[in-house]
Chain A
Amino acid sequence: MSAETVQTIIDDLGALLLFTMILIVAAGQIYRAIYAVAAQSFLIAIAGGVLAMATGNVDLWVIAGVTLAVKATLLPWVLHRVVQRMNVRREVEPVIPIAGTLALAVVIVVASFQLSASLGPVRQAITGNALPVGIALTLTGVLVMATRKTALTQMVGLFASENGIFFTAMAVTQGMPLIIEIGVILDVILAALVMTIMVLRVRSTVDADIADLDRLRG
């Protein structure tokens, strides 16, 4: 397909990604957040597929597949299980009201578009709006982590911001080198694993949410 169509598709996907991001931010229940991040990863995988078709780059197929398998399926499933296993409170317990978080998210999106607009000839380097969308996703993901009290929601936010990076990385013309992508994904899996272990460990030793601990300060 032609470059223009690819670009439009990517931009549409970007819009959808932003929408899912907003869902994550707005999610009052932790399950919704998990589903939303799964959906987001699914969209990322689609984007990978589209770009693979467009560029005929085999690596991108692999990456899209791995993303689909790991980030859209495995990790959400793990999170889901954890939530079920230890019957934690299902609410996300925001630090500031969700409305406020949404407002901040909007500011971030605008700012990232403004930023990438201020950059000159990035266009030929990264397809379409992938850069601003990527920045927006990354920052908003971290924003979610900074405004939620429970560990699992923070993990969700982390995955979301990883998605943003992935999106941008794939949209870089001729894609990222395969081994790097694989390594990145492996790291994500490992990190998720370790985090999960920690969450469960704390839950079992002292019956508390690990993200709630604040004995160490100053």
Chain B
Amino acid sequence: MDVGAGPNLMAACYGAGAISSLLARWSGRLAVGVGHMAALAGALAGLGASLGMLLGAPGHTLTQALPTLFPFARLSLSVDGLSAFFLLVISLVAVAAAIYGPAYLRTHSPDAGPARQAAQVLALNVFLGCMSLVCCAGDALTFLLSWEGMTLASYVLVVSDDRNGENARAGLLYMVMAHGGTALLLVAFLALTERAGAFDFEALRMAATGLDATTRTTLFFLALGGFATKAGVVPLHVWLPRAHPAAPSHVSALMSGVMLKVAIYGILRFAFDLLAPAAGPLPSSWGWTVLFVGTTSAVLGVLYALQQHDLKRLLAFHSVENIGIILIGAGLAMILWRTEGGGGALATVALTAALLHTVNHAAFKGLLFLGAGSVLSRTHVRNMEELGGLARHMPWTTGLFLLGAVAISALPPLNGFVSEWLTFQALLGGAGRFHGPAGLAIVFSAAMLALTGGLAAACFAKAFGVTFLGRPRTPHAEHATEAPSSMIAGMVWLGALCVALGVAPGYAIRLLDAPTGLLLGGPVASAVVTAHGPLVLSTALTPSGADGTSISMTTVAALLFALTAMAWVLRGGWWRAAPRTAPTWTCGMSPTARFDYTATAFAKPLRLVFAALYRPRRAVTRETAGTPYILRRIHYAGEIVDLAETEIYHRVERDISALSQAIRARSTGRIYGYIGFVLGALFVALLLLGVVYR
């Protein structure tokens, strides 16, 4: 298809979807159906456009003027390699969400009135459209407007999903923090626009060349702060685990899988494009900061995820972790860019790792949220303690969720492993290049990355096992049925992506050529990573010039498959007798669901190991029958705290509100007090400005 027409077509479809919410006046169902259809069309258009850009015309930028809405700024779209890549990520997940959505909304909230349905359809399309526009924006104003539109639409989706106050509070926190972030972005952008005297990125680049080092760094950190808030970087993450689960599940998939990536886009755009000095490396403080916050977010994110019992909250915390992993790659790329001789292959590897993890995380996190959604829509329970034993009723959902779990735990042969492997290689190269503390820091973050992977595996062993395996703990879980086929289809699409990106990542690397080439100007991704053909991933980056490490996911996957088959044969293949079944061994008692290991119990050892961080609180109440030796009932309540939340946010909130209460309580209602203020103001002003001011 024609590349130029792509974005327009996409925007048109999303627009149509938004308008189709009007249909809710006649039938909510109709509006939902048509709206998601339009969204699907838009997503496919976006997919086509981005693929066309990435494969057809890498390196060339597609610009397009928009109607002049505001006299002081020229609005325009400009789609270059980076934009196209993120547009691709958005569209990939959007396709799944659009397929999945209608059935989900129908089964999850059958009692939704037309008003709510209309709001959701409208918001969904605006959300998708704005996310795509942010990545395609060619000027600061378009960027900011679509950025805010994205926030507002997702806010509407969060608060509109359910009528209870929880959503409203989550939305509030989300909105406030997003606004704070936008304030920082505003300053960062406007400082450039006022220098440039124009809003389009071209002019901003020109203006940025004249910046002195301090201003440049200040602006970068302002922007970083703004984007990090949106990306949910620790300690700016507190809104994320509340807001993401509150939205409808396919929207959660979009928020966690895609919206955070838009923030990553912003960071890359600022660091490597808008603010990058004309020549020479980036200020070292940038990359090291990003690497540091990335590592912190990765570890803390997974540690907090481990202790969640709300399935969707757990997934949301894992988004914090994965954003951290992406930032490790990005930060490393910032550190290494233009610092090394020999074309800077290492920076390319680091950036490739970050971008590849971006798309990988979009795939498996989207899959996992959709899976959680189909559980939710069938059981209306998010607390995994009340689930269990779903595997027998929901085989498809279970299998796909397991797939996602393996992928997100960075286990071969799925996609999560590939990007983490690349990250490891980049870290190894970096450690080889920097001697002294710097190298040690890099290796340390590699170790933290390994820790993260292990903890993620533990977390998903728990999440999957407790939710889907064992015995059903409540009637909700007992009477669950498999999700409708359209929802399954949505999940299969993402599941297939996880497998494809895991088994044959080499072919996806080609898509990274445009962004890596654009940002780094060094060797492109495929020239480094798939130098030995698409089936082999290699890193040609040893200081000794030796050929680094090369692995082949495809061969390993084939080997695994063959070995499984052989093991199957070893076990007797088809000729083997069907197994006898017997109750699980529980020391001779007849097992009930109470015997199953709960999520709390599963996570307990790690809770104790990391007690310093969790500050766990527990309350155990015993009801004894007269003598303390005979317990009638025992009630256990335990919780852990999010340090950032309790130590920073609650404190600030308390102080501010207390202060305002105090001020308000002290204010007078007496008129002579009012008059006194007026007189005082005049008197002071006269003295200060009339006599002193000269």
Answer yes or no: A216 CB below 8 A from chain B CBs.
yes
Please pick, from A95, A108, A115, A118, the residue contacting B672 in the complex, using a CB distance under 8 A: A95
* Contact call B691/A145, Cβ cutoff below 8 A: no
* Contact call B671/A111, Cβ cutoff below 8 A: no
Q: By the criterion of a CB under 8 Å from any partner CB, how many residues of chain A are at the interface? A: 22
Q: Tell me how far the C-beta of B680 lies from the nearest C-beta in chain A, rounded to whole angstroms.
A: 9
* In the complex, residue of chain B having the shortest beta-carbon distance to the beta carbon of A135: B686
Please pick, from B670, B675, B682, the residue contacting A214 in the complex, using a CB distance under 8 A: B670
* Set of chain A residues within 8 Å of B672, measured between Cβ atoms: 95, 145-149, 154, 211
* Set of chain A residues within 8 Å of B673, measured between Cβ atoms: 146
* Contact call B668/A217, Cβ cutoff below 8 A: yes
CA distance A27 to B260 in the complex (A): 72
Q: By the criterion of a CB under 8 Å from any partner CB, how many residues of chain B are at the interface? A: 19
Please pick, from A111, A216, A218, the residue contacting B683 in the complex, using a CB distance under 8 A: A111
Q: Tell me how far the C-beta of A138 lies from the nearest C-beta in chain B, rounded to whole angstroms.
A: 9
* Set of chain B residues within 8 Å of A155, measured between Cβ atoms: none
* Set of chain A residues within 8 Å of B670, measured between Cβ atoms: 214
CA distance A154 to B675 in the complex (A): 10
Answer yes or no: A57 CB below 8 A from chain B CBs.
no
Please pick, from A114, A142, A214, the residue contacting B668 in the complex, using a CB distance under 8 A: A214
Answer yes or no: A143 CB below 8 A from chain B CBs.
yes
Answer yes or no: A139 CB below 8 A from chain B CBs.
yes
* Contact call B669/A215, Cβ cutoff below 8 A: yes
Q: Tell me how far the C-beta of B60 lies from the nearest C-beta in chain A, rounded to whole angstroms.
A: 62
CA distance A115 to B693 in the complex (A): 12
CA distance A74 to B37 in the complex (A): 80
Tell me the residues in window 55-102 of chain A with beta carbons closer than 8 Å to chain B beta carbons. 95
CA distance A166 to B668 in the complex (A): 32
CA distance A146 to B690 in the complex (A): 23
* In the complex, residue of chain A having the shortest beta-carbon distance to the beta carbon of B686: A115
* Contact call B675/A218, Cβ cutoff below 8 A: no
> How many Cβ-Cβ contacts under 8 Å join chain A to chain B?
49
* In the complex, residue of chain A having the shortest beta-carbon distance to the beta carbon of B678: A142
* Set of chain B residues within 8 Å of A108, measured between Cβ atoms: 683
CA distance A139 to B680 in the complex (A): 10
CA distance A147 to B676 in the complex (A): 8
* Set of chain B residues within 8 Å of A115, measured between Cβ atoms: 686-687, 690-691
* Contact call B667/A143, Cβ cutoff below 8 A: no
Most buried by B among A114, A115, A217: A217
* Contact call B687/A142, Cβ cutoff below 8 A: no
Tell me the residues in window 652-679 of chain B with beta carbons closer than 8 Å to chain A beta carbons. 664-665, 667-673, 675-676, 678-679
Please pick, from A111, A146, A218, the residue contacting B687 in the complex, using a CB distance under 8 A: A111
CA distance A207 to B691 in the complex (A): 46
* Contact call B678/A214, Cβ cutoff below 8 A: no
CA distance A146 to B686 in the complex (A): 18
CA distance A218 to B673 in the complex (A): 13
CA distance A158 to B690 in the complex (A): 24
Assuming the contacts A115-B690, A118-B691, asked whether A216 and B675 have C-beta atoms less than 8 A apart, the reply is no
Please pick, from A114, A146, A147, A218, the residue contacting B667 in the complex, using a CB distance under 8 A: A218
* Contact call A218/B676, Cβ cutoff below 8 A: no
* In the complex, residue of chain A having the shortest beta-carbon distance to the beta carbon of B663: A218
* Contact call B679/A142, Cβ cutoff below 8 A: yes
Q: Tell me how far the C-beta of B414 lies from the nearest C-beta in chain A, rounded to whole angstroms.
A: 60
* Contact call B683/A146, Cβ cutoff below 8 A: no
* Set of chain A residues within 8 Å of B679, measured between Cβ atoms: 139, 142-143, 146
Further pairs besides A115-B690, A216-B669: 16, Cβ < 8 Å: A95-B672, A111-B686, A111-B687, A115-B691, A118-B690, A139-B679, A145-B672, A146-B673, A146-B675, A146-B679, A147-B676, A211-B671, A211-B672, A213-B669, A217-B668, A218-B667
**What are 13 A-B contacts defined by CB distance under 8 Å?**
A111-B686, A111-B687, A114-B691, A115-B686, A115-B687, A145-B675, A146-B673, A146-B676, A211-B671, A211-B672, A215-B669, A217-B668, A217-B669
Q: Which residues of A contact B (CB under 8 A)?
A: 95, 108, 111, 114-115, 118, 139, 142-143, 145-149, 154, 211, 213-218
Going nearest first, the 8 A-B pairs with the smallest beta carbon separation are A217-B669, A214-B669, A146-B675, A218-B664, A146-B676, A142-B679, A218-B667, A145-B675
